[in-house]
Every structure is written in structure tokens, then in C-alpha cells.
Amino acid sequence: MAKLKSWKELPCGAIIDDPKAVLDNKTGAWRSQRPCWSAEKCIHCLNCWIFCPDAAIMVKDGKMTGINYDYCKGCGICANVCPTKVQAITMEEERK
Ligand code: SF4
Ligand code: SF4
């Protein structure tokens, strides 16, 4: 894990001056709930991809392929926006 900087070393306003740096911050370690995706139920509407605040929904050729747990914080938004009749994502307790 990268060494944390003190506040004196941070840029003014704590802005992120290197967009690639977010890749090093694997926010999945914060998760207490885990979204579980069912490939069989998924209709690939991509609501979850649009609304995921962490860009953790993986998509290839216009279809959902899974969830990147390195960056998923377990907020549950994807499960909430998945169509009610489909319910392809369910939230479960994270097993550490
Ligand atoms: S739980 Fe939140 S962060 Fe994780 S995939 Fe769903 S919307 Fe994204
Ligand atoms: S919102 Fe649900 S049905 Fe739509 S792509 Fe995501 S998991 Fe699949």
C-alpha cells in the first residue's frame, strides 16, 4: 500500500492532480456489503453501469460482464437501479 501523505504535502484544496492516481486507491477494502451479480438474470440494460459512482461495473461489447471488487465500495446503488422484475444484483454481507 502506498505511504499516506501528511496534509502539508497535499496540493492546495487537496485536488487530485494525477487522474491515474485513483487506480491505486482500491476502495473495495472499505466494503461491508457485496453486490452479487447473476449473469443468468441480467438483461444488460446497463442501469448499474450508468449509476455506479466508482465505475466498478465491467462492460464489454455493450454487455455487463461483472463487478470489479477492487473498486466497488458496496454502496448498493447498482442493486437499487437494477429493474425490479430482474433483480440481477443482490447485496450480501461481505465475507472478509
Ligand atoms: S455496490 Fe456501489 S460501488 Fe459497488 S458496483 Fe454497485 S454501485 Fe458500484
Ligand atoms: S442493472 Fe441489472 S439487468 Fe441491468 S445490466 Fe445491471 S445487473 Fe444487468
37-69 residue pLDDT tens: 999 999 999 999 999 999 999 999 999 999 999
Q: Which domain holds residue 50?
A: 39-96
Residue nearest (by alpha carbon) to ligand 2 atom 8: 42
Which residue, 53, 41, 49, is CA-closest to 84?
A: 41
**Ligand approaching nearest to the C-alpha of 52:** 1
Q: Tell me the mean pLDDT in the region 73-93.
A: 97
Query: Residue 44 CA: which ligand is closest?
Result: 2
Note whether residue 6 is domain-resident: no
pLDDT of residue 1: 64
Task: Please compute the mean of the pLDDT values over residues 4-27 and round it to a whole number.
Answer: 84
Q: What per-residue confidence (pLDDT) applies to 64?
A: 98
- Contact assessment for residue 73 and residue 33, using Cβ atoms and an 8 Å cutoff: no
Q: With contact defined as beta carbons under 8 Å apart, do 88 and 43 qualify? A: yes
Residue 60: CATH number of its domain? 3.30.70.20
Q: Is residue 33 very low, low, confident or very high in pLDDT (cuts 50, 70, 90)?
A: very high
Please identify, by atom number, the ligand 2 atom nearest to the C-alpha of residue 49: 6
Residue 51 lies in a domain: yes
